Structure 1
């Protein structure tokens, strides 16, 4: 219960509490004008005029307060979803790359798409339910004024029903938690379906298994747990509403026998009791809503905390320069599974073309991520122009690099890259893409291209960044022989003439003469490439 109160307080503001109180007061004032009018002599016009005046005042106040209240709730809802999404995305974009890789894109997307939206909707419902709760409280206070004995009976019955409600609510909360876990699993398998749609369609067994044994199972688990939770909640709500109707029945059929209430008090008591049914029903929705709110908040807080704990320190605008030499000294990185890359020792002059070769799993990609600052080294030192790189300069150091890998994403939008539109279109023409795509109004006109064309477009994107160092991971793989020859014999020399320093992962032996230096990655160690043929397969 304490956690639910904390969750409620995080949603509400003092302004909403005050508006809820004012709304409840104007509602009770309207109710009071009706109950008083029913007890006055209707044959006297003065009584009717007086009642109508009070009703008009209460009605205008109610409308004005509700207008402000509804706008505040809408603003709260939209502000919440914006704030939550941007907070998570800001934490994610500043988190270390290996944390994002380990956590999984699908869990982040699930939180942003599902939990943030759920949180905003629930916030709106919480605010409305709190308004109804204040109305119930005001109605009980009013009931104490006109029929104290009946109010005590009502308060006792409501307290008993609410206690039973709370005792039964634990299983409802468990149902929502299980449903949310099933949602995570569903999004994971949905990610597999969408990202691997070609492989799924190619293999009927995989297709059927993914859909029937995973997606359908997860969807059924979400359905089952939500149905169970909602049904239990509906039973609780029915119990509360039944308690109020029984209370009205007592006032009508039992109280007159005991002479506990006068006829006028009975009428007012029944009107107030029946009036409370709807707001009391809505206010008790708070328990269900706060339970869902806790589940979503927990998921969002978990992601934000992990991303924040894995946040990178440093400023991208810190001054670093590379005009002469890049040196890696005893650079090391170790995975949790135990595989270690390093210690790496390497000296590269500005404008060099460096080839890296090695078998699968030898550590080439990890080395490239270390080299380009995407992974922070666990030990060792990077030197730029004979100056040691400080830990706080890692983000600035990363800005020296542009990279292209097998899974690189080509963005249609410019996203702040400095190269001018005319120069971008010149590169599109040089790379034989101008007949397929143009750059206009800050974006590429087409990114639905063949594999080879996308690689060339990725090269244009990398050049748009105007960075001094290019990292090309298997760029020439899966392209036709003529394009491969153009890449090695024309593009690399052109980029070198532009002053670019190039690190190229390659296994194309026919073009090993196109580099200034060549290294072999083997079992996480970087060696000068041997002059004699050597197997690239890991030796264990």
Structure 2
């Protein structure tokens, strides 16, 4: 089973100790039956040795069961924590394009549901191991009591295993199909929670998307789950039926064809009854362990997709995966750049943006230069490549051709993470963290309170410790909080992607005429993606993109005249 092999790879010593304790617990439990049989055979002549053996077996069975469970609990929680950490690290270490291609729902489903499924199933492992050991020792004891009964029991065990294997393969396929439907369910749930306003306003859309489609996916998930779990239950029931048949053979067939004493028959049936009870306890965990194997396989598949995506896209995002040693090396190599660096260049940079149906958008090749202490506006129609340029510029999308240079030093896979640390950004699809942790120390809470007043948010949001008291605000207010966090990062480069789109005129005026000038005076490089042509005059340069190409690079006065008259500027 994939779960056993993964635990063995993760922590061989701890897992083997847990299995060994489970085996001892099962073996002593079976030996306990032998002592009980012996005591029942001579109830008036119980010796001190027999009483001592009975007591010792009771203690050892209980203690080893506890030890095996405790060891496996510790192991499983460590493995689960490591598995979740591994998946998070691979998400953070993968290229942004790879993560976008896989999608949010499959990754979130793996992080949340799959790990929980594995955690719920792991307590059954020592029970299964104990059950197997119990069965083996019972068979050995039966050989001593009655070789014929032992042979019949062995045949029943083999038949039961074969039946289970036949059932389990189809059961696992059904559970895997259910797991695929679960990703679609998570996507539907995301649509319901994030699109609730639109769904409330459109009954027909609600009926189709949150009704028909969601119900169809939920029905498919339920159907495959029921089939998979029922198959495993059928396997358990078949195994139980086989052993009931064995008891029938021992009671009615064996005495008719062999000379077997009543005591031997009683001892044999008693052992088989205990064996069936133990096997039944182990079999009840098999459906959960089957789901856990599917869940673990899904997590491994997600990790494989994240890593394969890196290989397909070219060089690997090593800067994300390693610790500070690599970043320190990158800084020494020049990509981290000294604090007084001044120039950032895009030299023949291009990036291909593949679409879901095979179409593609190509940005570039672009030759651009940006300097500290200047404001550059990037403008153009929707879909012209402005946001893609922002992600390439910040190092989130590595260029497929060409190079990015900082004061002449090329940005490579080895130093790209250090390069990204130059940037603060508020993207159009920004995420707002409620914590200030990770931002520069040195009175950050007081600075945050100061800027809350500047942004007219102090009556809505307070700083409690290192956190915002709330982020349940309007989109414009949330953008102002994101701007505050970006400002506190105090990075040499600032990128704002349509930041002012959700702001009222007062805050647009503040952003364009006051904040940008403040950033420029502080020696920062400021790149603004915008459609606000009335503020183009605050820029030092305006770059217009069209279909991924630079249509023209103009001074802001010319661009302002073009936007107002529609005439072509002089060249």
| TM-score tier (shorter) | over 0.9
- Residue among 411, 431, 441 paired with 1:409: 431
- 1:95 shift after superposition: 0.8
- 1:522 shift after superposition: 0.7
- 1:49 shift after superposition: 4.6
- The 5-angstrom pairing of residues 248-259 of structure 1 reads 248-259=247-258
- 1:80 shift after superposition: 2.6
Find the counterpart in structure 2 of residue 340 from structure 1: 362
How far apart, in 2, do the equivalents of 1:205 and 1:226 lie? 30
- 1:284 shift after superposition: 4.0
Does the aligned pair in 1 maintain the 2:426–2:486 contact within 8 Å? yes
- The 5-angstrom pairing of residues 39-438 of structure 1 reads 39-40=41-42, 42-44=43-45, 47=46, 49-284=48-283, 288-309=287-308, 310=310, 311-314=316-319, 315-317=326-328, 318-319=330-331, 320-321=336-337, 323-336=341-354, 337-419=359-441, 420-438=444-462
Root-mean-square deviation (CA, aligned residues, Å) is 2.2
- 1:236 shift after superposition: 2.4
- 1:109 shift after superposition: 0.6
Structure 2 residue 39 is matched with structure 1 residue 37? yes
Equivalent position SS for 1:332: strand
Note the residue ranges of structure 2 that are not aligned, 5 or more in a row: 311-315, 320-325
Query: 192-201 or 504-513: which moved more?
Result: 192-201
- 1:224 shift after superposition: 1.5
Note the residue ranges of structure 1 that are not aligned, 5 or more in a row: none
Find the counterpart in structure 2 of residue 18 from structure 1: 20
- 1:283 shift after superposition: 3.5
Does the aligned pair in 2 maintain the 1:369–1:375 contact within 8 Å? yes
How far apart, in 1, do the equivalents of 2:283 and 2:179 lie? 22
How far apart, in 2, do the equivalents of 1:161 and 1:62 lie? 26
- 1:338 shift after superposition: 2.8
How far apart, in 1, do the equivalents of 2:152 and 2:92 lie? 58
How far apart, in 1, do the equivalents of 2:3 and 2:151 lie? 27
Equivalent position SS for 2:502: coil
TM-score (norm 2): 0.88
Does the aligned pair in 1 maintain the 2:121–2:285 contact within 8 Å? no
Q: What do the CA deviations read for 1:398-426 (whole angstroms, capped 9, x no partner)? A: 11001112221221112311142222222
- Residue among 458, 466, 471 paired with 1:447: 471
How far apart, in 1, do the equivalents of 2:33 and 2:295 lie? 38
- 1:287 shift after superposition: 5.4
How far apart, in 1, do the equivalents of 2:116 and 2:508 lie? 47
How far apart, in 1, do the equivalents of 2:162 and 2:51 lie? 40
Residues 237 and 263 (structure 1 numbering): CA distance in 2 closer, same or farther, change over 3 Å? Answer: same
Q: What do the CA deviations read for 1:250-287 (whole angstroms, capped 9, x no partner)? A: 22233223343222211110110000112222334575
- 1:71 shift after superposition: 0.8
- 1:52 shift after superposition: 2.7
Q: What do the CA deviations read for 1:196-253 (whole angstroms, capped 9, x no partner)? A: 2222222111211122212222222222222222223223222221222222232223
How far apart, in 1, do the equivalents of 2:8 and 2:146 lie? 33
- 1:304 shift after superposition: 0.7
How far apart, in 2, do the equivalents of 1:378 and 1:424 lie? 39
- 1:107 shift after superposition: 0.5
How far apart, in 1, do the equivalents of 2:18 and 2:282 lie? 15
- 1:16 shift after superposition: 1.8
Does the aligned pair in 2 maintain the 1:353–1:496 contact within 8 Å? yes
Does the aligned pair in 2 maintain the 1:76–1:123 contact within 8 Å? no
- 1:371 shift after superposition: 0.6
TM-score (norm 1): 0.93
How far apart, in 1, do the equivalents of 2:9 and 2:123 lie? 13
Residues 388 and 141 (structure 1 numbering): CA distance in 2 closer, same or farther, change over 3 Å? Answer: same
- 1:5 shift after superposition: 7.2
Equivalent position SS for 2:398: coil
- 1:6 shift after superposition: 4.5
- 1:7 shift after superposition: 6.0
How far apart, in 2, do the equivalents of 1:231 and 1:327 lie? 62
Residues 126 and 158 (structure 1 numbering): CA distance in 2 closer, same or farther, change over 3 Å? Answer: same
Equivalent position SS for 2:516: helix
